[in-house]
Structure 1
Amino acid sequence: MSVNPLFKVILHPFIKESIASLKAMTNLTGVAGDPFMDKVEDFRFKGYAVCSDVTGSLDGVIMMHHYPETAIAIGNSVCQNMFNETYAFDAINDDLRNALAEWGNTIVGRSTDLHSRHKLEYGFSSPYFVEDLTEMDKYLVGVKQVITVPIMVEGIGRYYFNLLIRDVVEQVANVDIDAQSIDVENTHTTPLPLTSTVLVVDDSAMIRKAISRFLNNLGYHNVIEADDGIGAIEAVKAGKVDFIFMDVVMTRLNGDAALAELRNMGSQVPVVMLSSVTDNILVKQCQKHGISGFIFKPINANNGAETIAKYLKIAAAVAI
């Protein structure tokens, strides 16, 4: 049975972004196989899964899932690429969960943003993660079709994308599914002194750790952290903060809302936003409140210090 072109359009950005993020965040190479119809009654979950609910014209779930050994290998590679250290965990732990969560968030964020920019009549929930196989059967309730795409990872194994479809309203999907991301001009103009206090705001402990390391390598040792927008506001109120790197999508308060509140408070501290979502509207909203740049994830050990240095207007050679 052939696969409906609409389903290919829905899946394509996820597959494309997962292969790109795999290369950028792990230095591993992935190749996608052809999409095919899985039999619902024969479908089996492999293990660790990143899921996003699909709503609107399509009711279902898009799922990227792995055999545990594949998830472990990819998680180790994400950690190694982020911190330039050898990781060899043999079971899923908090470090690997954080690494896989960051990889999954990057993929889903970039993919769903591409869909939203085409104003298609379906949307996606924030990604969530499932490790317990006993919890996964509930996702098959009411499912009428399953579309599967395997991704082969050189030297590792494979993972899968599945589109679990409960109901769908047909629509014409005549879109450019290879649209490019946007770029943002860096408005920060003067070098930031190495004695400055830099605040790193992200709900991912892994990203906070990585950016703090990049800053340390560049000579900035007065680095403080917050895990959401409320923490950022509290840090600015509590004392002197000279520069902020802040994620957009976070748990209690998003970075764009925190940025607006900081400006309402009268704070003009330079802020560089971080996000895996390349949304023109979001970027313009942040620019209205005054930002000193916008970094699109992923960042890793190969490009992290150089990327950070560019926004601080200092020479990346300081890290050497």
Structure 2
Amino acid sequence: MSVDTIYKVILYPFITESIASLKAMTNLQGTAGDPFIDNVDDFRFKGYAVCSDVTGNLDGVIMMHHYPETAIAIGNSVCEKMFDEKYEHTEITEELSNALAEWGNTIVGRSTDLHGRYSLEYNFSSPYFVHDVSDMAKYLAGVTEVVTVPITVEGVGRYYFNLLVRSVDYQQVGIKREESRGIENTHTTTLETSSKILLVDDSAMIRKALKRYLAQLGYHNVIEADDGASAVTMVASESPDFMFMDVVMGEVNGDEALRQIRAAGSNVPIVMLSSVTDKVLVDKCKDLGISGFIFKPIQADSGAEIIKDYLKIA
């Protein structure tokens, strides 16, 4: 299988989404280099990576791979763009790790969704993170080929996309990048600023950003939950007037929490959040009764405006 074929079929959506998300979620500009084959025996872990396992007619791992200094610079920029403040961390803190996780989740989520729209015979796992050099051996077990694409970030350095291939058998398909801000809220009555709003997201960073955007709009009665199970409990105990809820979370996902909330009889307006724009998922949530669906990322320069458009009730 040629480098060109693997790049076009598997890596191309990740590269284009990575550069687009870099532009949208940071103040940085990225440019992709030419794909090439890495020597498996010489391949080394650079220090920080977000990964997604590939199964089906392709068996391997997609790896978005950073040197620590590049990860720090990008993490600082993600924070700056989200909160409109200067960040100058010099090491990977918990806040930067959360920022990089959000950036990586957005890229992997949108890229794998684009693959899914073409009914291709391979699947991707939820993204996960690798920090430990000693972990790399298990990812290289059985790998016969490593396809690498360098991304040069202006004024920062490089990060890399690697496709670690164990086996592959698939047909070449062209893939286009699709843009969407979300599914609008069709209601017309604006939520009163005294209303109680529940934010549900396993990312403390996203909750912090949403809380800040809501405060800019005059909403200060805000409560938080970090997973779907807590959301179900808090709807019963706190009776919120409105909710924003992430879809992909650690234990109970937002779509399952939504189902449980509706099954319990609550009609609280809920706007879903996700970097995954899968039509089946969106339709499932719409069938359960939602007041809109926001596709991440949300940034400081437009966050309050986007949130305002969804703060409406029947």
Common fold: TM-score over 0.5 = yes
> Are the counterparts in 2 of residues 229 and 258 from structure 1 also a CA contact under 8 Å?
yes
Give the equivalent residue in structure 1 for 2:275.
Answer: 276
Q: Which moved more, 1:100-109 or 1:182-191?
A: 182-191
Partner residue in 1 for 2:304: 305
Q: Deviations over 1:84-117 (max 9, x none)?
A: 1111110111011100000000000001111111
1:1-150 mapped onto 2 (5 Å cutoff): 2-150=2-150
Partner of 1:246: 245
What are the superposed Cα offsets for residues 41-61 of structure 1, whole Å, 9 maximum, x if unpaired?
A: 221221111111111111111
Deviation, structure 1 residue 4: 4.6
Distance 1:307 1:205 in 2: 20
| Number of the residue aligned with 1:236 | 235
Q: TM-score, length-normalised on structure 1?
A: 0.94
Q: Which runs of 5+ in 1 are unaligned?
A: 315-320
Report 1:149-188 matches (<5 A). 149-169=149-169, 171-181=170-180, 183-188=182-187
| Distance change in 2, residues 1:83/1:178 (3 Å) | closer
1:217 CA displacement: 1.5
C-alpha deviation, 1:313, in angstroms: 4.6
3-state DSSP of counterpart to 1:158: strand
Q: Note the C-alpha offset of 1:180.
A: 4.7
Determine the C-alpha separation between the residues in 1 that align with 2:181 and 2:302.
19
Q: Secondary structure at the match of 1:162?
A: strand
CA–CA distance in structure 1, aligned partners of residues 162 and 30 of structure 2: 16
Distance 1:153 1:182 in 2: 25
Task: Give the whole-Å Cα distance in 2 for the aligned partners of 1:84 and 1:185.
Answer: 26
Equivalents in 1 of 2:173, 2:130: separation in Å? 33
- Residue 256 (1) aligns with residue 232 (2): no
- Contact 1:188–1:293 under 8 Å retained in 2: no
* Pair 66,201 (structure 1): closer, same or farther in 2 beyond 3 Å: same
Aligned AA for 2:241?
A: D
Q: TM-score normalized by structure 2? A: 0.96
* Distance (whole Å) between structure 2 residues aligned to residue 259 and residue 189 of structure 1: 22
Q: Is the 8 A contact 2:180 2:295 kept in 1?
A: no
For the pair 1:217 / 2:221, whether they are aligned, the reply is no
Aligned identity (percent) is: 67
The aligned residue for residue 190 of structure 1 is 189
Whole-Å separation in 1 of the counterparts to 2:33 and 2:266: 51
Deviation at 1:228, TM superposition (A): 1.1
More moved, 280-289 vs 305-314: 305-314
Q: Deviation digits for residues 129-179 of structure 1, max 9, x if unmatched?
A: 11121222221111100000000111111100000001112x212233334
Q: Secondary structure at the match of 1:19?
A: helix
Per-residue deviation at 1:218? Answer: 1.1
Pairwise CA RMSD: 1.5
Aligned 8 A contact 2:13 2:175 in 1: no
Which residue is equivalent to 1:317? none
Q: Which residue of 1 aligns with 2:203?
A: 204
Q: Taking structure 1 as reference, are residues 78 and 183 closer, same or farther at Cα in structure 2, changes over 3 Å only?
A: closer
Hey, what's the Cα distance between the residues in 2 that align with 1:181 and 1:215?
Answer: 22
Q: How many residues align?
A: 313
CA distance in 2, matches of 1:174, 1:127: 23
Residues 178, 240 of structure 1: alpha-carbon distance in 2 compared, 3 angstrom cutoff? closer
Change (3 A) 1:227 1:219: same
Could you tell me how far 1:264 is from its partner in structure 2? 1.2
- Structure 2 residue matching 1:146: 3-state secondary structure: strand
d(CA) in 1 for partners of 2:280, 2:166: 31
Gaps of 5+ in 2: none
* Matching residue of 2:285: 286
- Tell me how far apart the structure 1 counterparts of residues 232 and 43 of structure 2 sit (CA, whole Å): 47
Contact residue 17 and residue 111 of structure 1 kept, 8 A: yes
Whether the 8 Å contact between 1:182 and 1:278 is mirrored in structure 2 is: no
CA distance in 1, matches of 2:233, 2:162: 42
Alignment partners' CA distance in 2, 1:12 and 1:161:
10
CA offsets 1:5-30 (integer angstroms, 9 cap, x no match): 14431101111111111111102110
> Secondary structure of 1:53's match?
strand
Segment drifting more, 284-293 vs 63-72: 284-293
Q: 1 CA distance for matches of 2:302 and 2:186? A: 20
